[in-house]
Amino acid sequence: MRGRDTTVTEEQQGPADQSGDADPASEDPTPNEPPSGATELLRDALVDDDDPRFPLWLPLPGIVAAAGWALYDASAGGGAFLETLLWPGAAIFAGTTLASWLGWQLDID
C-alpha cells in the first residue's frame, strides 16, 4: 500500500472557532458591504474621476439615431428630411444622448 498525505488545510477544515473575546461590533465593516441609501448607491456607481465626464463620442449615438429617423421618414413617409431632423430629431438626439451619458456615468454593462 502506498502512503497517503493526510494533512488538512485550513480551507478543508472550515472557519476557525471565533467564540470568545472578539466583539462583533468592534470589527471594521467589510468593503463589499452594499451602500445604505440611494445617494450612496449613485455615488458608488458613478465613473471614477479619472474618466472623462462627457467623452467626445457620446453624442454620436444620438446623431445617428436622429439622422436615421429623418432619413427613414423622408424616404418611407415622404416627409422633408430637414424638417424631420429638426423635430422630432432634436428630441431623439437629446433622449439618446441623455441615455448614453447616464449609461456612461453609471457604468452600466
How confident is the model over 21-65, as pLDDT tens digits? 555 555 555 566 666 777 776 666 665 666 667 788 899 999 999
Q: What are the residues whose beta carbons fall under 8 Å from the beta carbon of 74, sequence distance 6 or more? A: 80, 81, 84
So what's the pLDDT on residue 54?
78
Q: 5 falls in which pLDDT band (50, 70, 90)?
A: low
Give the whole-angstrom CA distance, residue 95 versus residue 89. 10
So what's the pLDDT on residue 10?
52
So what's the pLDDT on residue 84?
92
So what's the pLDDT on residue 47?
55
Q: Using CB atoms within 10 A of its CB, is residue 84 exposed (0-12), middle (13-18) or buried (19+)?
A: buried
DSSP 46: S
Q: What are the residues whose beta carbons fall under 8 Å from the beta carbon of 47, sequence distance 6 or more? A: 53, 104, 105, 106, 107
Q: Are 104 and 60 in contact (CB under 8 A)?
A: no
- The single residue listed with the C-alpha cell 429638426 is 86
Is the entire prediction scored with pTM above 0.75?
A: no
